[in-house]
Structure 1
Amino acid sequence: MVAARDQRPAPYSMTTSQCSIPIRRIINFDSGEDDVCIIRVQNMRFKVNPCVLQAGSPIFKNILESRESPIVLSGHTASQFRAFLSAVYARPLPSAKTVEVARLCSIAEVALKYDFNSLKMWSMEGIKTQVNAPNTLLRTAPSETFVRLIRLALLYRDVDLSRSVQLKWLTRIHWHDLPPAPAIVVADAYDLRHLLCHAYYVHLVNVSPRIVRGEPIDTDSPLTPTQNLHVFCGYHSLLASWKQLQEAPPAFAQDEECRTHVRCEVAWKARWALETGRSSAFSPVDVLCRLLFMERHLEADEVLKDCMGDGCRREALDAIAKKRAEISENLHHHFDL
């Protein structure tokens, strides 16, 4: 038994092919291979030249002074770290505009963790350029991409990037191109009120038929009971708002040149009552879409063109747009946020 045990190779003499953990070699070719260290991330080992890492990061300077082998790093995946190392040792760095955003995100996340300033700047500039490009990838990106970009923007405290991603996400959500639930979860976690209340709004419009029929809205939903309670608050509040609007249109100011303002008001109220009383394809709680429809429909109304002065008619239509903007800006009140 002793002889058999002595014939086994010692653990440190295992070859790469015998080791269950694969080794990835990313080496600075300007120096000899003796000047290397082993870094382990998850189930993967990376054989790297420490000089560049130490030069670019004070955190790595401290970490790589350790005599441990391998040096174990955590807080990111092996895939993220591999993307980071590929950028660290790239000579020269490619234009960040040509690197896919998912890869740039991995590099930015790891670079931030280890305070690797040159790659922090390079990766974030590339991300912002691609996010704000006319043909931005966010036109077709899934919800997961928006979630990752929001988190990255918050980690970097980049207000402009966060705002840009949120607005593009909301556009996709309002067009019903993406589900609102992931945005609710993320916005609630990071206190992004504008994103949160508009995501709640679209979610409410989607589930309002269930509420009308008395069906549960939490089936297969990622929302918590508290979040679903906010949905119900929005339902009752917005429904009440639309009923108020049905009874009286938004008030408008008299045009300076109008001499028959009473006639303008009578015509406006009459046409408003007629149009709001018609059946609509929009949910009763979809006040924003209903108001937009009313604005466009009444703008083309021939009766109003005959019965109202041009100035008063413009004021009345502007009043609808202002009311819509007011509701949009104050959705948090409707959802009790």
Structure 2
Amino acid sequence: MTITQSPVTNPPPTHRRCGSLKYRMFEVDSVLRRVNVAVLCENSTAFRRLVMENADPNMPIVLHGPTARQFDHLLWGLSVDPMPQPPNEEDVERLLDVEELSRRYSIHCLQIRAETTVLAVIAEGTNTAVLSCRTNSLVRMLSITMRVHNKTLFAFLMQMWTWRLHSKELDYILTIRVAQPSHWDHDPQPFLKLLGHAFYAAMMDLEPKLSSGQRIDLDCQLTSSEIVHVLCGYHSLRCWWDQIASKPPAYMHCARCMYPERCSYVWRIRFRWLAEKDRISFPKVDGIRRLQEIHRFLAGDLFLIKNMPETCRHNALQELLKRREHLLKTVHHHFDL
């Protein structure tokens, strides 16, 4: 067991209201901390009650729940004002610990300062510490935005979570566990959609085995019911892509289109040339990336530029984007969620 000095600064004499002793030993996660109890008591009724209930100065006050590291973060929060902006991921976690523990121990002023700082950092939209944070930190930030009913920041975090799943930056197993709508006292639809994208990420990770007919239940972290959802999504999205590839999206012709039938024919043959002939490297079940790749290619296709009026070509490309957006919004249905 180690003993360290608390980072809380010495209080003025007016703060000394928890007995004649200014310092007490706290045992947190089997680690002893020498803490300035006057500061804790002045800011928290919960700590004041703990000190009064543990009156023997020779016995440490045992805290259950937080780790020693989290407790250190709380003490750090009490020693700084204003709350600094977190420049890296470790500092984001420290700030989240301060917000969480100050709320647990009813340190209202500190909780408000930490919460306000967290929301301000998220609102920046460009802070790399937030954009690259771990899944657990993302869950905690999401909880804060829901508690304060900030729909804008909630939507931003959910969107960021979704795209980081597709870029393989976040753990889809953990996301599947925490994104269950029943875990949240909130509108279930956003979490249902996030769950669908987590299963999509799982399906893409397992796609080589699925496409070759191998079993995926061996050495797999997914439960049997989760594997069923992945299989449902795989077969559903295969059928969905075959239907998409065989029938290019219809579009509105512009008023200056002199030959709409030829215009539609040109669009149809170029789309099918890409979609049906496996000229795209992404698997057929990866409709999100396949549609994105087709759009990228056709947007610069000289054959279309030469043979379609500009407005017709723009309308046709927009229809492609609409199909992709529709898939992004409804992907959870493919996994029977």
TM over 0.5: yes
**Structure 2: stretches of 5+ with no match in the other structure:** none
What aligned pairs does 1:79-158 form with structure 2 within 5 A after superposition? 79-88=69-78, 90=79, 92-97=81-86, 100-131=91-122, 132=124, 134-141=126-133, 145-154=134-143, 157-158=147-148
Q: Distance in 2 between matches of 1:264 and 1:147?
A: 51
Q: Which residue does 2:167 correspond to in 1?
A: 175
Q: Distance in 2 between matches of 1:255 and 1:223?
A: 50
Q: Is the 8 A contact 1:87 1:93 kept in 2?
A: no
Q: Distance in 1 between matches of 2:319 and 2:80?
A: 59
- For residue 27 of structure 2, give the secondary structure of its aligned residue in structure 1: strand
Q: Distance in 2 between matches of 1:65 and 1:304?
A: 80
Q: Distance in 1 between matches of 2:158 and 2:219?
A: 25
Could you tell me the TM-score, scaled by structure 1's length?
0.82
Give the CA deviation at 1:155.
5.6
Q: Distance in 2 between matches of 1:225 and 1:272?
A: 38
Could you tell me the TM-score, scaled by structure 2's length?
0.82
Match of 1:42 among 29, 33, 42: 29
Give the CA deviation at 1:312.
1.6
Q: Which residue does 1:206 correspond to in 2?
A: 205
Q: Say how many residue pairs are matched.
A: 314
Give the CA deviation at 1:91.
5.7
Which of 288-297 and 219-228 deviates more?
219-228
- For residue 45 of structure 1, give the secondary structure of its aligned residue in structure 2: strand
Give the CA deviation at 1:163.
3.7
Q: Distance in 2 between matches of 1:224 and 1:68?
A: 50
What aligned pairs does 1:1-337 form with structure 2 within 5 A after superposition? 20=1, 22=3, 24-25=5-6, 26=8, 28-31=10-13, 34-69=21-56, 70-88=60-78, 90=79, 92-97=81-86, 100-131=91-122, 132=124, 134-141=126-133, 145-154=134-143, 157-158=147-148, 159=150, 160-188=152-180, 190=184, 192-279=191-278, 280-337=280-337
Assess, with a 3 A threshold, how the Cα gap between structure 1 residues 39 and 118 changes in structure 2: closer, same or farther: same
Assess, with a 3 A threshold, how the Cα gap between structure 1 residues 155 and 311 changes in structure 2: closer, same or farther: closer
**Structure 1: stretches of 5+ with no match in the other structure:** 1-19
| Letter matched to residue 192 of structure 2 | R
Assess, with a 3 A threshold, how the Cα gap between structure 1 residues 179 and 149 changes in structure 2: closer, same or farther: closer
Q: Distance in 2 between matches of 1:76 and 1:66?
A: 19
Assess, with a 3 A threshold, how the Cα gap between structure 1 residues 272 and 112 changes in structure 2: closer, same or farther: same
- For residue 318 of structure 1, give the secondary structure of its aligned residue in structure 2: helix
Q: Distance in 2 between matches of 1:223 and 1:184?
A: 9
Deviation digits for residues 91-114 of structure 1 (CA, Å, limit 9, x no counterpart): 645524468112112212211111
| Letter matched to residue 296 of structure 2 | R
Q: Is the 8 A contact 1:150 1:166 kept in 2?
A: no
Deviation digits for residues 201-254 of structure 1 (CA, Å, limit 9, x no counterpart): 122122112111121223433322211211111101111110101211112123
| Letter matched to residue 312 of structure 1 | C
Which of 197-206 and 119-128 deviates more?
119-128
Assess, with a 3 A threshold, how the Cα gap between structure 1 residues 39 and 162 changes in structure 2: closer, same or farther: farther
Bigger Rg, which one: 1
Q: Distance in 1 between matches of 2:103 and 2:214?
A: 46
Assess, with a 3 A threshold, how the Cα gap between structure 1 residues 271 and 66 changes in structure 2: closer, same or farther: same
Give the CA deviation at 1:176.
3.1
Assess, with a 3 A threshold, how the Cα gap between structure 1 residues 313 and 94 changes in structure 2: closer, same or farther: closer
CA RMSD of aligned residues (A): 2.7
Deviation digits for residues 26-70 of structure 1 (CA, Å, limit 9, x no counterpart): 563434772344433221233434333233223333333314543
| Letter matched to residue 75 of structure 2 | L
Identity over the aligned pairs, expressed in percent? 28
Give the CA deviation at 1:124.
2.6
Q: Is the 8 A contact 2:11 2:38 kept in 1?
A: no
Q: Is the 8 A contact 1:174 1:202 kept in 2?
A: yes
Q: Distance in 1 between matches of 2:144 and 2:62?
A: 23
